[in-house]
Chains A and B, each alone.
Chain A
Amino acid sequence: MRIGLFITCVNDLVYPATGVAVTRILRGLGHTVEFPAGQTCCGQLHANSGYRRAALPLVHGFAAAFAGYDAVVSPSGSCVAMVREWYPRLVPDTAALAARVYELSELLVDVLGVTDLGARYPYRVTYHPTCHGLRVLRLGDRPLRLLRAVRDIELVDLPAAGECCGFGGTFALRNAEVSAAMLADKCGHVTGTGAGVLTAADNSCLAHIGGGLSRTRAAVRAVHYAQILAGTAGAP
């Protein structure tokens, strides 16, 4: 299958290792992965903040960059939710393409029918289901099924897992204090699990929770689950 990788702006800038992991996983399964250089940002930041007109050129840019692919994969539940749920409402022509855009766990579990990627990760890990993955894409337990197949991993349940960490894009700046109150509770739940690693399907949420954890000097590392599956996550 010829798969286009949509890296997302946050990963391109801050977390390229997640993109490396996705590429390694999919090539390891024998698929062609390409990175169309014309891609930039999905426009979610602008659209969700009310700058719809500023987002429109980004929607068209995405459509042009990924037009020819059988499937488009992205290691971000939130950006995939933007493309799949919002693009058709913003630009109706994008509906057919939007339906072929998958979050990594959807592509692996639903399209490619794989859950065991042969990885080993001998650490205590807790998983945070991010809001847009949980309630927009309805990822369900797909990322967890992939993680459960990892050798020697000790997965521990995160209390109040479905509750937002308080990131919400510009919400974290505009309503910084409320966001911080939500974050404090999330960090408390994470550290309470005794896990050394927090994982999720979105590096923006992980940057938020991870930023809170590192501020409080908590001994928990935030890492995208693709890196655990690819065997590139490293130690806690």
Chain B
Amino acid sequence: MTGRPGGARPFPAAARVALADPQLRANLRNATGTIRDKRAAVVAEQPDWAQLRAAGAAIKDRVLRHLPELLEQFEHAATAAGATVHWAPDAAAANRIVADLVRAAGAREVVKVKSMATQEIGLNQALAAEGLAAYETDLAELIVQLGGDTPSHILVPAIHYNRTQIRDIFTDRMPGAPADLDDDPAALAEAARLHLRRRFLAAKVAVSGANFAIAETGTLVVLESEGNGRMCLTLPDTLISVVGVEKLLPAFTDLEVFLQLLPRSSTGERMNPYTSMWTGVHPGDGPRSVHVVLLDNGRSSVLADGTGRQALRCIRCSACLNVCPVYERVGGHAYGSVYPGPIGAILAPQLSGGTAYGSLPFASSLCGACADVCPVRIDIPEVLVHLRQSTVESTSAWFPPRGTGMRLLAWVMRDPRRYGAALRLAAFGGRVAATVLRRRVLHRLPWPGSRWTAARDAPLPAPEPFRDWWRRTGGAG
């Protein structure tokens, strides 16, 4: 997976930078709080939400079990409808295919519908390297692109900005922005609309992703809120869609489930404003050349992991980001991955296959809020623990010996007599410390306890362990 420049920085270090930015904290708290409440309200009004989630998980699991057959079925149906299907084993192959298609269409620039798959493969940068310009048309993606920044949220890429910051980006960087632009949201949207309109009308090629790809019919589906997607999907002559292989649904009727799950989970709406569906080419209507790039980019290896594969159910709704107490405090950039938050912490390490995102599975308190809201019931804490295990078991360095403390502790705890002796020793230490310090809490501990005492007092062991009290009194003390 293509990471960000500097994406190898471990999470704790990146988080430290984010935590030091009070404006970022405030922006995130406001934004995630608002979406969280909206989602909770529209989910609560759906009496069959539990069944919808179960159905969503079951359909996605079926897709993952029958992926090769369904992909062939999709290719066959899409091709029969006039689309051209391309297969991309990795990011480089997908970028190559798209760049060649753009050039073959005689274009130097493309307009883009918001797409995580093209973020994942770093398409904009790859096109730029070949002298081709990619213009984001989703408002938040536009803000991020103009600002020379990277998205920090799956659904709301500019969530880390407030409207004043956005106004400054527009007046500094957006061609044609009025010099006296104020930070009223309607004014900002209007300025972006006028800017984008020129892009839409000039573009010969559009690039999109897809929320769903229907195997039965060869149909692609995009859900969006702004209408920019509809413009991109209908105006240009050539449409290229980069679609992760896990985006498949077996049948058109499966949309019944997902068109209920996705908007409520992502934007907290009963239904998103625009749902576009297209099946190949229709003479006289929409693009005359339709291409689908089916992207693997690590997905096949994720599929081979019995516990980790549930991450491929993800429909990129971001509900897990919005409820995550860790995400809320550090934002998306700290994850160093295109996919941030809880889902990013299980997707990025798996898709990359290496150790590049090794700190992400540990960037969670395992509080479980993400699993509770996931519309396709991904047990994110289970996968986090599973990936921690892979990290621990794959790094068996001899020096310094990793996890010595943990293994020593397990050795002590394995034997009730050793364990009892250790408790007694600790209780003795606690009694001495309490006598010397004349208090029952510690303000400062040596490393690694210093990480605890930086912000919290630590309790001393009790003067007598529970087991000794029991042996002395028989539980009747």
Contact = CB atoms under 8 A, between A and B. Distances in A.
The answer to whether A binds B is yes
Interface of A: 5, 7, 9, 11-17, 19-20, 23, 27, 33-35, 37-41, 43, 45-55, 57-58, 61, 131-132, 134-136, 162-164, 166-184, 207-208, 210-212, 214-215
Given A173-B452, A177-B19, A211-B456, A12 B465 contact: yes
Contacts of B371: 135
A46 B457 CA distance: 23
B15 A168 contact: no
B80 to A, nearest CB: 45
Contacts of B368: 131-132, 134-136
Interface string B443-468: 10000100110111111111011110
Contact of A174 (B12, B419, B467): B12
Contact of B392 (A13, A49, A134): A49
B466 A16 contact: yes
A46 B389 CA distance: 10
Interface of B: 11-12, 15-16, 19, 25, 325-326, 329-330, 361-369, 371-372, 385, 388-393, 403, 406-407, 409-410, 413-416, 419-420, 423, 426-427, 441, 443, 448, 451-452, 454-462, 464-467, 469-471, 475-477
A50 B390 CA distance: 7
A217 to B, nearest CB: 10
A61 B464 contact: no
7 contacts: A13-B423, A23-B475, A35-B466, A50-B392, A164-B367, A169-B365, A215-B456
Contacts of A168: 364-367
B19 A178 contact: yes
Nearest to B385: A48
B388 A50 contact: yes
A178 B410 contact: no
A50 B393 contact: yes
Contacts, number: 199
B311 to A, nearest CB: 17
A contacts with B: majority SS: helix
Nearest to B475: A23
Contacts of A5: 475
A83 to B, nearest CB: 15
- Which of A51, A174, A178, A208 has the largest number of chain B CB atoms within 10 A? A178
Given A171-B366, A177-B12, A214-B441, A51 B452 contact: no
